[in-house]
Amino acid sequence: MGMSVLRQQRSTEAARDDARLRDELAYGDEAAFTDLHERFAPLVYTIAARITRDGRAAEDVTQEVFLAIWQRPLDYEPERGSLRGWLAMMAHRRAVDLVRREEAHRRRALDGALYAGAVSRGDPVGDQVSDSDAAERLGAALKALPAHLSRAITMAYLEGRTYREVAAELGVPEGTAKSRMREGLRRLGLTLRDQR
């Protein structure tokens, strides 16, 4: 028997096994779910960790992927590809979505702080200051913050680093890094507002 015939047989058997597993999940078979999780959780976690660069976020993505397949196993269509490939695709999409949401949240927080300080009151002609003026005011406001707050904000919002990266660079727990960013943004907003 040639190698291509063996590969084709293995592929056909794997597809049948994937379809069987999906059908068992559709009937709420917990043993099938345990089998699925044991076989594929390391793959899903690894993909998520590479994208998010954050162990906790990768765990969240892994849980989301397996919850989704438990709730909607028939979303997987064996005729369109392997279960492994489908789970890898789900992990990739969800991890990318999580990173995008986190980046958008950071941008909104910084934009909110800038907006709070950059909008002038009662001036219908110049409702906002120019971009260069806003940048100068932001720079001055950042310098006025305590160094530990300014550094956390700069790393996260201006350099685009994740919470985990900020925490590692500062040598503090992730929760502390997040607290510094929140406090820094709060003070930054107050400083910019006072400059109006």
Nearest-angstrom CA–CA distance, 13 and 18: 9
Nearest-angstrom CA–CA distance, 94 and 64: 8
Mean predicted lDDT score pLDDT of the chain: 80
Average of pLDDT values for 120-142? 57
Copy the structure tokens of residue 8.
């084709």
CA distances from 93 to 30, 111, 128 (A): 25, 26, 37
129 pLDDT tier (thresholds 50, 70, 90): very low
- CA angle, corner 177, sides to 98 and 138, nearest 5? 90
Q: Is the pLDDT of residue 145 over 80?
A: yes
Out of 2-11, 81-90, 100-109, 123-132, pick the least confident. Answer: 123-132
Domains of the chain: residue spans and CATH: 7-98 (1.10.1740.10), 128-194 (1.10.10.10)
Answer for the pair 121, 194: CB distance below 8 angstroms, yes or no: no
Strand partners, 128: 119
Single pTM value for the model: 0.54
Q: Which residue has the higher pLDDT, 110 or 16?
A: 16
